[in-house]
Amino acid sequence: MKKVIAAGLAALAMSVSGAAFAEPVKVGMITTLSGGGAGLGIDARDGFMLALKNAGDAASEIEVVTEDDGQKPELAVQIADKMIQSDQVDILTGIIWSNLAMAVVPSAVAQGKFYLSVNAGPSPLAGSQCNENYFNVAYQNDNFHEAMGQYANQDYKKTFILAPNYPAGTDALTGFKRFYKGELTGEVYTQLGQTDYAAEIAQIRASGADSVFMFLPGGMGIAFTKQYAQSGVDIPLMGPGFSFSQDVLGAIGDAALGVKNSGSWAKDLDNEANAKFVETFQAEYGRLPSVYAAQAYDTANLIVAAAGKASVKDADAFRAALKEADFDSVRGKFSFNTNNHPIQDIYVREVIKEGDVLTNKIVSTAFTDHKDAYAAECSLQ
Amino acid sequence: MQTALFIEQILNGLQLGVMLFLMAAGLTLIFGVMGLINLAHGSLYMVGAFACAAVAGATGSFWLGLAASLAAAAAAGALVEILVIRRLYERDHLDQVLATFALILILSEGTRWLFGSFPLYLDIPPLLQGTVPIPGGSRYQLYRLAIIGVGVAVAVGLFLLISRTRLGMRIRAGESDREMIGALGVDIRTLYTVVFALGAALAGLAGAMVGALQSVQVGMGEPVLILAFVVIVIGGIGSIKGALVGALLVGLTDTMGRFLLPQLFGVFMDPSRAGLVGGAVASMLIYIVMAVILAVRPQGLFAAKG
Amino acid sequence: MSISRETAINLVLALLLLAVPFIAMQLGKPFYVTLATRMAILGLAAIGLNIALGLGGLVSFGHAAFFGIGGYAAGILASHAFSGQPLDFGLFAVPGSKLMPVIWAVAILAGGLLAAAIGSISLRTSGVYFIMITLAFAQMTYYFAISWPAYGGEDGLSITIRNTFPGVNTLVPQNYFLICYALLVVGLVLFAVLRDSRFGAALQASRQNEVRVASVGIAPFRIKLAAFVISGMITALAGALYADLNRFVSPSMLSWHMSGEFIVLIILGGVGRLCGPLAGAMLFVMFEYILGGLTERWQFFLGLLLLGVVLFARGGLIGLLAGRARHG
């Protein structure tokens, strides 16, 4: 019965728009819905589903299967295998974490499936291991850190930097240093999952730095920012948007107020698509969207746009349609570089309070039409 | 400046150690009296933190939250003991490991079900905000000093409880001979529930106090659980004194390792590389210390019994 | 000699697993082949642990270390074969390899060496101390793998194309399943032979009464160490297979959750039983798959199920079906 209605809707859509392809598209969404990192995955899923809902008839032939990866790479691989072999999906998406993306993406694209990243852009996938079927709709991992490095040049000369000791952490500090021209008073790698930063904050206090840059995602960032504010150290703090995104601001509280952070999106970004996104997201889920929701929303709209131009079964045509990025991004302008990674503006945001709610406001633009540093290593043209 | 930093790091090590002691005391007590390995102890820590954050969020008072965390963790502990743990005392360690592993899954997902997927907010109370001067010319956070104070008070309280009270006498009797206290007419079932709830309350207290420093989120108990196990194994399982010494040793080793190792490697490497290598060795340091101690003293530093 | 009930159940289980891929292909559900392969590999890993745990009473909470080192052996050799650069050990260099038998041999060797090192220290302790010191060693390897940048750190290491086996196209899922299944059977036979040998008898005796074993002139430490090393080798082999199944290896193979999962598999199936680990792996993978498809709160229900098994089904699945164990 459902099928009949869907077919009827599709026929209707065809007769209205005339050119739309009624070819069904099956999307497999692997994301983190349980455990400590579930908030990010839930935001991504909700943003994705909202876009399909807002797209109305244009998305009627897009079917989504969602499964929880529990933030475990092995489980993500197993689900990807299942979605490819059993559910016969055309497109995979949804993964939040770099290490899970590295586990799933290379083999998925090698099997001829499309992978669209809603978050996480590990450097190998942007450079040497790039693939024509892998599109990153979010960012390359270094981007936000590079933006903070650029921003720090304006006001600071002596920065203390820290990140967890794992690939995304070293990438973060590399990205920051790529653009930062001042002196480093300290470079500290903390343990992954560490929750007490008293020792590091003491070092910061003693270092004589005029600013601190930190990349500590998830609970680590919440813990650090709270402890930093509590310690009474008043050296300005900055970081990438992940540590000051809507999903964690509530837990950090006023300790985050005034912190400068970088991102490709903010709630107050002035364009029509964004206004509609923020408004419908709040109406649908009763909370403010995070950057993860925004990126997933864009990803879903990209799929809808591409599906309207080409059949997903015709890989070459569909790939070309994806690459056009012909959709209204909540980030304003958005296009793909040769390595299928974004060319986009990156902003400096500040944490402010609107009534009782903490959120981000854009204060300046760090980069215009920024590209990642790895595109040259990618063989795609 | 270097001396001040050094003193500050020692205090940080003590604070971490004291926090671990609160976790480890309950674990070691439960093992000593009931012979039970409780992997779900970290989940009780999480329950305490969530209860504190929820109540503090609703009422605006950290102190009510703190009371709620004690009550919630003790209640959760008693409930779990009566429903599940009670059936495991006679089983071997293997069954206990599996059952309490299952409890971790249930309690974690159950908490997420109740409180949602986003981390909760909990701040330190206004009374304890700010810093105080310490020797060497630097300043130290009042709240962390308060945690050290609470830890010392709990340690003293536990020693008094065990050496001076009737409950303590029963606990000691239970540790040395489980059949005998039954013969003495002590209601073992109630004793066990009380001991378990006491251990749970200590874990909940630690969770609530640390929750104000960190992020209150699902899964927060697991790293602490592993550290607490390291502590009681180093100290000698079943010994409160061992737990205290082990906790301080682990706290200081971990903090000083993170602080000093990168500087040590910095002597013969460039700073970026020294940070990486030093950080890597620091993350393994406490496990190395534990392995060395057990290799020399297979029963830990203060073995309570053979 | 008549076939005992347990033997019959073992045969049924083994044949059932063998049949899954063929039925799956008939039904047009190729993914079940992957699931069956996963069952076989996890079963093999748990058989390894079962030698230490079931026969020797050595509750190792650190077998993920061996599983992971096997996985990394496969990943590292394959990545060097792919890039063409030899592995440099300073004094000498060896080329990488894409040949499964070579990879397996290296994995087994590496697992055995690591187990010998860990065992010779850990076996000085017993009981809960042993549980915890094995956990500590596994944590060391975990943090080492995370912070060691050469092979991907936390991001792990991808194996671009599954490694090869002479004469077999390993890219076909059914073929790879059969390879893993064959090794599972080898593992089962090895376990049975060990259990019934003089070595196995001495090992089981040392679990029950160490003093008596020592008094008849056998050194319990050396027997336990030998068992621990064999145990580590088998689990390392399973790790290499797992890496090839996922075409990926990462530190999460070394995490304490993994060690916990192996213990869970054995208890689910039945401690010390020949096919306990296999039964446990089949049950666990099935639970995980079915619950994961039903609800995002699957971990909650998985916990309830495990709790139910440990409270009400003592002796695991095999114990439930076959009655009390010989050495119950």
CB contact under 8 A, B237 and C128: yes
B109 touches chain C (CB under 8 A): yes
At A3, the pLDDT band (50, 70, 90 cuts) reads: very low
CA-closest candidate to residue A348, choices A123, A195, A179, A235:
A179
DSSP state of A88: -
Q: Is the pLDDT of residue B173 over 80?
A: no
CB contact under 8 A, B5 and A226: no
Assigned token pair, A363: 């204060």
CB contact under 8 A, B94 and C53: yes
CB contact under 8 A, A230 and B129: yes
The residue in chain C having the minimum alpha-carbon distance to the alpha carbon of residue A66 is C293
Q: What is the pLDDT of residue C108?
A: 96
Q: Is the pLDDT of residue A355 over 90?
A: no
Describe the crossing of helices C100-122 and C64-83 by its angle, rounded to 10 degrees.
140
Separation of alpha carbons A151 and A363, rounded Å: 11
Q: Which residues in chain C have their CB less than 8 angstroms from residue B303's CB?
A: none
CB B171 within 8 A of CB B162: yes
pLDDT in tens, A279-322: 999 999 999 999 999 999 999 999 999 998 888 889 999 999 99
Residue from the list C152, C248, C296 with its beta carbon closest to the beta carbon of A77: C248
Q: Is residue A217 domain-shared with residue A360, that is, in the same domain?
A: yes
Q: Is residue A79 domain-shared with residue A52, that is, in the same domain?
A: yes
Which residue would you say has higher pLDDT here, B205 or C161? B205
Q: Is residue A63 domain-shared with residue A205, that is, in the same domain?
A: no
pLDDT in tens, C256-297: 889 999 998 998 888 888 899 999 999 999 988 888 777 778
Q: What is the pLDDT of residue B181?
A: 66
Residue C267: inside a domain, yes or no? no
Residue from the list C131, C133, C306 with its beta carbon closest to the beta carbon of B102: C306
Mean pLDDT across chain A? 88
Q: Which residues in chain C have their CB less than 8 angstroms from residue A121's CB?
A: none
Q: Is residue A116 domain-shared with residue A247, that is, in the same domain?
A: no
Q: How many CB pairs under 8 A join B and C?
A: 125
A317 contact partners, CB below 8 Å, separation of at least 6: A309, A310, A311
Q: Which residues in chain C have their CB less than 8 angstroms from residue A72's CB?
A: 252
Q: Is the pLDDT of residue C326 over 70?
A: no
Q: Tally Cβ neighbours within 10 Å of residue B89.
A: 15
CB contact under 8 A, A251 and B217: yes
Mean pLDDT of A218-237: 89
What percent of chain A is modeled with pLDDT above 70?
94
* A 331-360 residues inside an 8 A Cβ radius of C: none
Highest mean pLDDT: which range of B66-80, C14-28, C256-270: B66-80
Residue A127: inside a domain, yes or no? yes
Query: Domain span at residue C180?
Result: 31-256
* A 142-171 residues inside an 8 A Cβ radius of C: 165-168, 170
How many Å lie between the alpha carbon of A2 and the closest alpha carbon of chain B? 31
CB contact under 8 A, C121 and B294: yes
Residue from the list B131, B219, B276 with its beta carbon closest to the beta carbon of A165: B276
CA-closest candidate to residue B272, choices A186, A297, A153, C192:
A186
Residue from the list B12, B109, B141 with its beta carbon closest to the beta carbon of A199: B12
Assigned token pair, A127: 């450079």
pLDDT in tens, B212-226: 888 888 888 888 888
* Chains touching A (3+ CB pairs < 8 Å): B, C
Q: Tally Cβ neighbours within 10 Å of residue A278.
A: 20
How many Å lie between the alpha carbon of A255 and the closest alpha carbon of chain B? 9
Separation of alpha carbons B116 and A349, rounded Å: 27
Q: What is the pLDDT of residue A340?
A: 93
pLDDT in tens, A119-175: 988 888 998 889 999 999 999 989 999 999 999 999 899 999 999 888 888 889 999
Q: Is the pLDDT of residue C143 over 60?
A: yes
DSSP assignment of A287-326 equals S---HHHHHHHHHHHHHHHHHHHS-TTSHHHHHHHHHHT-
Residue C14: inside a domain, yes or no? no
Handedness of CA B167, B172, B178, B184 (dihedral sign): negative
Mean pLDDT of C168-183: 92
Given the DSSP bridges, would you call strands C157-158 and C248-249 parallel, antiparallel or unpaired?
antiparallel
Domain boundaries, chain B: 20-125+136-296
Query: Domain span at residue A69?
Result: 2-139+268-336
Mean pLDDT across chain C? 87
Q: Which of C118, C140, C298 to mutate to test the interface with B (most CBs of B within 10 A)?
A: C140
Separation of alpha carbons A8 and A51, rounded Å: 22
Q: Is residue A103 domain-shared with residue A17, that is, in the same domain?
A: yes
Q: What is the pLDDT of residue A99?
A: 87
Tally the domains of chain C.
1
CA-closest candidate to residue A33, choices A24, A20, A46:
A46
What percent of chain A is modeled with pLDDT above 90?
54
The residue in chain C having the minimum alpha-carbon distance to the alpha carbon of residue B103 is C303
C298 touches chain A (CB under 8 A): yes
B99 touches chain C (CB under 8 A): yes
Residue C167: inside a domain, yes or no? yes
Tally the domains of chain A.
2
C75 touches chain A (CB under 8 A): no
Separation of alpha carbons C40 and C16, rounded Å: 12
Q: What is the pLDDT of residue B253?
A: 93
Q: How many CB pairs under 8 A join A and B?
A: 134
CB contact under 8 A, C303 and B280: no
pLDDT in tens, A56-107: 888 888 999 999 988 888 889 889 988 998 888 999 999 999 889 988 998 8
Separation of alpha carbons A341 and A129, rounded Å: 13
pLDDT in tens, C207-220: 877 767 766 677 78
Q: Is residue A371 domain-shared with residue A233, that is, in the same domain?
A: yes
Q: What is the pLDDT of residue C95?
A: 83
- Backbone dihedral region for residue A72 (phi beyond 0: left; psi -120 to 50: alpha; all else: beta): beta
Q: Is the pLDDT of residue C243 over 80?
A: yes
CB contact under 8 A, C156 and A102: yes
Q: Is residue A13 domain-shared with residue A117, that is, in the same domain?
A: yes
Q: Which residue has the tokens 């060097």?
A: C80
CB contact under 8 A, C267 and B95: yes
A270 contact partners, CB below 8 Å, separation of at least 6: none
Residue C130: inside a domain, yes or no? yes
Q: What is the pLDDT of residue B66?
A: 94
Residue C275: inside a domain, yes or no? no
Q: What is the pLDDT of residue A22?
A: 57
Residue from the list A191, A232, A253 with its beta carbon closest to the beta carbon of B121: A253
Residue C9: inside a domain, yes or no? no
Q: Is residue A255 domain-shared with residue A183, that is, in the same domain?
A: yes
DSSP assignment of A192-249 equals TT----HHHHHHHHHHT-SEEEE---THHHHHHHHHHHHTT--S-EEEEGGGGSHHHH
Residue from the list C146, C149, C252 with its beta carbon closest to the beta carbon of A73: C252
Residue C206: inside a domain, yes or no? yes
pLDDT in tens, A39-50: 889 999 999 999
A174 touches chain B (CB under 8 A): no
Separation of alpha carbons C129 and B293, rounded Å: 11
The CATH number that applies at residue A169 is: 3.40.50.2300
Q: Is the pLDDT of residue A12 over 50?
A: no
β-sheet bridge partners, residue A211: A159
Residue from the list A36, A196, A232 with its beta carbon closest to the beta carbon of B139: A232
What percent of chain C is modeled with pLDDT above 90?
43
